Chain A
Amino acid sequence: MAEQTKVTTLEKVVVRFSGDSGDGMQLTGTIFSTLSAIFGNEISTFPDYPAEIRAPQGTLSGVSGFQVHLGSKKVFTPGDKADVLVAMNPAALKVNVGILKPNSIVIIDTDSFQEKDLAKAKFTTDNPFAELGLNSIQLVAAPISTFVKEGLADFGLDNKSALRCKNMFALGLVCWLFERPLEEAMHLLQNKFVKKPTIAEANIKALTDGYNFGHNTHAAVSTYRIEGKKAEPGFYTDINGNTATSYGLIAAAEKAGMKLFLGSYPITPATDILHELSKRKELGVKAIQAEDEIAGICTAIGASFAGNLAATSTSGPGLALKSEAIGLAMIAELPLVIIDVQRGGPSTGLPTKSEQTDLLQALYGRNGESPIVVIAATTPTDCFDAAFWAGKLAVEHMTPVILLTDGFIANGSSAWRLPDLDKYPEIKPQYATEYNGEADWKPYRRNEETMVRYWAIPGMEGFEHRIGGLEKDFETSAISTHPGNHQKMIMARQEKIDKIANFIPELDVVGDADADLLIVGWGGTYGHLYETMEGLHENGKKVALAHFKFISPLPKNAVEVLTKYKKVVIAEQNTGQFAKYLRGKIPGFTPYQFNRIKGQPFNVTRLIEEFTKIMEA
């Protein structure tokens, strides 16, 4: 029968696993994307959680999704629309109807498509497909629950535990669709359930049953082949943005010869950074859960004062609470990394969704003249490099650095080549012991070239000193309310930040040198904007992309790049915060803007349409 199966070879395919938040869709998606990465596909993933921990079972608000984009060539986004949907219940089908491509494969568990299930998802007829107008899908309908219960009859599991393996049956089916050998999946499951061998075996049995079911009975639907391709030699792992951020901080501390300290407070979607760094004690990391957001940053400031590479991790509401303390670290000129994993705002907003709406808060959200460094990571794996840079600039330039990531890249993952730290730049703190100027050392005595002060750490003999939030004298470092001195210190702190432009990479432009349109973005939208550029190229358009990672200060060539093209469009997931910032830096700069604030990633198809309109305008 297998011989009759149509095999379609594709460059890219999007698979979405969707079910109740208790159905294990995140694990299923993660295993499938890891398998695919091992197979040699490019991957980009996007978990889409409900806001509720456990919404009522089977309801629309309880649907949890995990989308993975596979490609034989580079993929940068989890994809706009799905080629394959696994819908574990009617609610999952209904929620995802808008993202199905024509002729897509939909896998359902018929046991969960009974009358009561349809009612929970607010279907009014007994044919959900007709009701949703789905008439061109390839349906793979199987009584998954029944099969799983039967298949696991000999395992001695109770009904509930057996049904928990449903997701693996679905995964087995998908593995068959994509011709993925099961060995690696089995290996991953054995590792996952290393302490529960029976559960591991049950999951593997369900997985195998799912695969065999597809192989033996469903020769009618197409299966897909995404060719594996040869990536750059090296060791790879699948990594999400939050984990990459954590490792980037560890790498920076290792390079700087410093101890890493994290002071943090749980907040979606940043908490996984606290989780990861709490685990890394073998690497000497001290990560503490503070009593609130303010204590999170304040313990970090204390640790920085004591000589650690200190960081705090949060999201928008937490960043607001930390504002005053960031101002303290700024005027005390202590190194500090503040990670803001942006989520939908304002206020509590959309905690599990993604936005770029904290940019102006990061740049300006403090009292007084308070310039600091702002960096934005561009992809899940770039979070590593961005966190490394954040640590480097904080330590070498004695300043707080805000690292902006977002829920999308923090939870999204892709394959990551393990870095060779020997190839990363050095990180050298400028300690007071290196000061050799003519005047006596003082805490705010500066290196004239960089305007960076020389750092003395408690325990260093002969450098005892007092710092704090009050303005200090430029020469003596004692408290000063002198009007002229205040202005001098404000300008010195600003100059210190401005000079960092000499120590960061220039802005890279990709695409056509003679582009008719320059696409400009920053942070986590890189993948979507890159694919948009590729799409426009395929349509014969001349476009280029300038994507910003360093925002404050801007790269040295930023103004030159932005003023070189006929048309410039700035695309952001806010109402135009970066555009406003750039207009303030470049007199007369009037870019087009594309702004979407829906809590969801950009849609590449839509971007291509909109940018084409701009080009034709």
Chain B
Amino acid sequence: METEEIKYQAKDYKSDQYVRWCPGCGDHAVLNCLHKAMAELNIPPKDMAVISGIGCSSRLPYYMNSYGFHTIHGRGAAIATGVKTANPDLNVWLITGDGDCLAIGGNHFIHAVRRNVDINIVLFNNRIYGLTKGQYSPTSERGFVSKSSPYGTVEDPFIPAELAFGARSNYFARVVDVDLKNTTAVLADAAKHAGASVVEVLVNCVIFNDGIHKNITDKDFRADRTVFLRHGEKMIFGKEANKGIVLEGLKLKAVTIGEDGYTLDNILVHDAHTKDNTLHMMLAMMTNEDDLPIALGVIRDVEAPVYDQCVDQQVKEVQAKNPTRKLRDFLMKGEIWEVK
């Protein structure tokens, strides 16, 4: 008997729960993008496990009609590692925020990335603690004034990409919450990547940190202040699509094509698949302060051994050489003596 393949729609991934994020919160957009990305991937909701820690974004599993586990602060990466290692057939997501992932959960995050567990990490970065009502986070800039830093912070922030690459990340992408089309596409792409994928979504907190990413997300400047990277394509940006990135010496530089002797040929072609992460790191670290656009899109996408598959493989290899499957049989092969 032939079975007709089910084609899932975005609504099939929506749960019946009322979404409790503040009106205008960037998280709503990411949730919708995830529903659409899952429909595009057509993965049955029964095979999807969405794990989260604690924080505003970590409420997301309740809004998915899949298997979901809202856990404890910072530990989502470790729990997701356990889920995926126990059952590599599942499609596992980790929903986390800048506080959950980079402060209390920093250790689990770097080790999940280092091990290259096949989980899809969506890092909602609003550069603030929202659920506890407005303290600075590990991604807040030096001098940032918040309830817990009334005179400004005296510490430098993490740049998530830099930390991820320090942890030997093989997949890192960055998107903005207002760009639904690209966010959906990147989430789907990240899910297809075998190994740990990190998607940093720059989200707006409408209540405690409104406009924190406005400088780059606003329609008026987005084209000039960001570059959307695509593997195999030239790094071109700008309203007129006439600007590009070139490498001069050990530094990246934004140039205008046709000015100062720069032609289209000088513009770098993005190679997300190259193993050497030097250029990926430089791209991820570009800032407007250095007259460079913020890099968006899939910055790095490299194949590497996948932890959960290797754990499985090792069991299979040992089993191929050793036919013992029952405890009693194993014990009988040990150092034993018989009393008759």
Give the residue name and chain of the A residue nearest to B52 (CB): A468
For residue A27, give the distance in angstroms from its CB to the closest CB of chain B.
Answer: 14
A439 within 8 A of B: no
Q: A247-B327, A306-B49 are in contact. Are A237 and B334 (CB under 8 A)?
A: yes
Judge if A613 is at the interface, Cβ distance under 8 Å. no
Per the bound structure, the CA–CA distance linking A299 and B87 in Å amounts to: 12
Interface residue count on the B side (C-beta < 8 Å): 59
Assembled-state Cα–Cα distance A328/B82 (Å):
15
**Does A286 contact B75, Cβ atoms closer than 8 Å?**
no
* A234 and B338 contacting across the interface, CB-CB below 8 Å: yes
Residues of A with C-beta under 8 A to B49: 305-306, 458
Chain B residues lying within 8 Å of A461, measured Cβ to Cβ, are 44, 46
Contact A291-B67, Cβ < 8 Å, known A299-B79, A302-B83: no
Alpha-carbon gap, A165 to B85, bound state (A): 44
A residues in contact with B201, CB < 8 Å: none
Give the residue name and chain of the A residue nearest to B91 (CB): A458
- Are A467 and B318 in touch, CB under 8 angstroms? no
Contact A458 B330 (CB under 8 A): no
- Of A134-142, A143-151, A275-283, A599-607, the one with at least 4 CB within 8 A of chain B: A275-283
- The answer to whether the Cβ of B193 comes within 8 Å of any Cβ in the partner chain is no
Which one, B47, B79, B328, contacts A305 given CB within 8 A? B79
User: Per-residue 0/1 for B83-122: is the Cβ within 8 Å of any A Cβ (1 yes, 0 no)?
Assistant: 1111101100000000000000001100100000000000
B154 within 8 Å of A by Cβ?
no
Is B304 located at the chain interface by the 8 A CB criterion?
no
Determine if A261 is an interface residue (Cβ-Cβ < 8 Å): yes
Given A281-B318, A466-B68, verify A459-B46 contact (CB < 8 Å): yes
Chain A 272-295 residues near chain B, CB threshold 8 A: 280-286, 288, 290-292, 294-295
B108 proximity list for chain A (CB < 8 A) = 291, 294-295, 298
Binds B, one of A225-233, A340-348, A446-454, A525-533: A225-233
Within the complex, the shortest CB–CB distance from A276 to chain B, in Å, comes to: 11
Instruction: Confirm or deny: B134 has a beta carbon within 8 angstroms of a beta carbon on chain A.
Output: no
Residue of B nearest to A282 (CB): B322
Chain B positions 308 through 340: 1 when the CB is less than 8 Å from some CB of chain A, otherwise 0: 000100110011001111111011101111111
Q: Does B253 contact A (CB under 8 A)?
A: no
The CA-CA distance from A225 to B192 in the complex, in Å, is 70
Write the chain A residue with the least CB distance to B88.
A306
Partner of B78, one of A294, A308, A310: A294
Count the A residues whose beta carbon is within 8 Å of the partner chain — how many?
Answer: 71
Q: In the complex the two chains form, is A421's CB within 8 Å of B324's CB? A: no
Please measure, in the bound complex, the distance between the C-alpha atom of A231 and the C-alpha atom of B336, giving whole angstroms: 14
> Complex formed: what's the CA distance from A287 to B64 in Å?
30
Residue of B nearest to A470 (CB): B70
Q: Is the CB of A283 within 8 A of B324?
A: yes
Chain A residues with CB under 8 Å of B47's CB are: 458-459
- Chain B residues with CB under 8 A of A464: 45-46, 65-67
Task: Name B's interface SS.
Answer: mixed
A465 on the B face (CB < 8 A): yes
Tell me the complex Cα distance, A467–B79, Å. Answer: 13
Complex partner residue of A468 from B70, B90, B327, CB under 8 angstroms: B70
A478 located at the interface, meaning its Cβ lies under 8 Å from any Cβ of chain B in the complex: yes
Residues of A contacting B87 in the complex (Cβ-Cβ under 8 angstroms): 306-308, 458-459
The interface residues of chain B lying within 8 Å CB-to-CB of A306 are: 49, 82-84, 86-87, 90
- Mask, A454-475, CB within 8 Å of B = 1, is 0000111111111111100000
Chain A residues near B89: list those with CB within 8 A: 459
> Would you give the shortest CB distance from A330 to chain B, in whole angstroms?
12
A305-B45 in contact given A298-B78, A298-B108 (Cβ < 8 Å): no
Taking the closest CB of chain B, its distance from the CB of A420, in whole angstroms, is 8
B171 within 8 A of A: no
User: Please, which residue of chain A has its CB at the minimum distance from the CB of B324?
Assistant: A282
A235 adjacent to B82 (CB under 8 Å): no
Counting CB contacts under 8 A, is A401 at the interface? no
A327: nearest chain-B partner, CB-CB: B72
Q: Which of B69, B75, B315 has the most A CB atoms < 10 Å from its CB?
A: B69
Closest Cβ neighbor of B70 among chain A residues: A468
Q: Residue on A with the closest CB to B81?
A: A299
A459 CB, min distance to chain B CBs, angstroms: 6
Closest to A460 in B: B46
Task: Identify which of A188, A284, A464 gathers the most chain B CB atoms within 10 Å of its CB.
Answer: A464
Chain A 258-279 near chain B by CB (<8 Å), digits 1 or 0:
0101010000000000000000
Least distance between B167 CB and chain A CB atoms (Å)? 11
> Which residues does chain A contribute within 8 Å of B54, judged by CB atoms?
469
- Judged by a CB distance under 8 angstroms, whether A543 is at the interface is no
**Which residues 405-444 in A have Cβ within 8 Å of B in the complex?**
418-421
CA distance A310 to B79 in the complex (A): 12
Instruction: Write 9 A-B pairs (CB below 8 A) sorted by A numbering.
Output: A235-B332, A295-B108, A298-B79, A302-B69, A302-B81, A305-B82, A305-B83, A325-B75, A466-B61
Please provide the 8 A-B residue pairs with the shortest distance between their CB atoms, ordered closest to farther. A302-B82, A468-B70, A298-B78, A299-B82, A466-B68, A303-B86, A281-B318, A295-B78
Known: A298-B71, A301-B82, A304-B82. 16 other contacts (CB 8 A): A230-B339, A233-B338, A233-B339, A282-B323, A284-B315, A286-B311, A298-B79, A306-B84, A306-B86, A420-B328, A459-B47, A459-B89, A463-B46, A466-B61, A466-B67, A468-B70
Q: Which residues of A contact B (CB under 8 A)?
A: 34, 37-38, 40, 188, 191, 230-238, 247, 250-251, 254, 259, 261, 263, 280-286, 288, 290-292, 294-295, 298-308, 310, 324-325, 327-328, 332, 418-421, 458-470, 478-479
